[in-house]
Amino acid sequence: MPERFVIGTRGSKLALWQTETVGRAIMRAFPEIEVEIRVRNTTGDINLASPLAEIGDKGLFTRELETDLLLGEVDMCVHSLKDLETEQPEGCVVAGVLPRADARDVLVCGPRIQAASLAEVPEGSRIGTGSRRRVAQLKANFPNMVPEGIRGNVDTRVAKAEGDDYEGAILAAAGMKRMGYEDHIAAYLPIEDMIPAPGQGAIAMEVLKKNERAYQIARALNDPVTKACTDAERFVLFSLEGGCSAPIGAHCRLEDGKYIFDACVLSLGGTKAARCHLEADADSADPMDMAWEVVSELIGEGARAILRDIKNGKDTGQ
């Protein structure tokens, strides 16, 4: 009789795609296992009208899944790592991540504009994004645009971006590709123009520490380079006490034998910024050591003061 293994997930098309990908990988690596997928709506799924920052940034897309995990109703939860809090509930751990997809953001253009980069977007264009990180970087780097709030799953946001209320939108490359919308991408945004969110493009497997079998399975699927880089990115977010909706970008990657680490903290209006760019030889560097240096540099450039003003309501983005 097959060994039953239950995975909890959100019900969006993207979440199901990610979970089914994990499920297939588990059954390839462990032929004795039969995976069952259990769908759960989260607070972020139910409230699609309010901006994410107004709902609160603590576990919007994960809390209900983690409750099921703690109750033993599922053996594993699969998340978009960028949606997962840097501190898990007691007893929960991200034991593994799949190899990372493209972590960049992309531009989707509606019929009224044509642009192969953000620099080519016409002045006054309404660009949809529900992310404070993206809004702040747009305002800082491309102040000619007008960021407008947008919510919904990938297909919904693409349709809105190509409709009457927006000239375009910014979405994650990974989600666009996974949902088959690659032909709607007008431009891939360079890291220097739009630093991604910590963990962007990575699929996380969260289990209970005490569940040795689930932990073993997640570790078997884990990609060490992705895990090292995303752990470092999430350490930056944790150290600055920023939630998932804070205007913080952090991206570490292994490229041509080097670890390259970019990070930024911006005011909501993009007028204040702390930035950091580090490179180190991969043979001698460790991403987590680099993360400590990144945090130190960002704090030295005023990151804590920027985030404190946002938290205290002194920075409204105007």
Domain, as residue range, for 296 = 237-309
In a domain, 228, yes or no: no
- Compute the C-alpha angle 212/217/223, nearest 5°: 125
| The pair of three-digit structure tokens given for residue 218, joined into one six-digit string | 């997640």
Q: What is the pLDDT of residues 104-115, one digit of tens each?
A: 999 999 999 999
**Is the CA virtual torsion 305, 307, 313, 317 positive or negative?**
positive
Q: Exactly one of 45, 57, 75, 83 is catalytic; which is it? A: 83
Residue-wise pLDDT tens digits, 93-137: 999 999 999 999 999 999 999 999 999 999 999 999 999 999 999
Question: Do 141 and 278 belong to one domain?
Answer: no
11 and 62, same structural domain? yes
Q: What percentage of residues in the chain have a pLDDT greater than 70?
A: 94
Residue 176 and residue 218 share a domain: no
Based on the domain organization, do 86 and 129 belong to the same domain? no
For residues 40-67, give the mean pLDDT: 69
68 is catalytic: no
User: Interior CA angle at 282 toward 276 and 283, to 5°?
Assistant: 145
Residue 169 and residue 47 in one domain: no
pLDDT above 60 for 56 = no
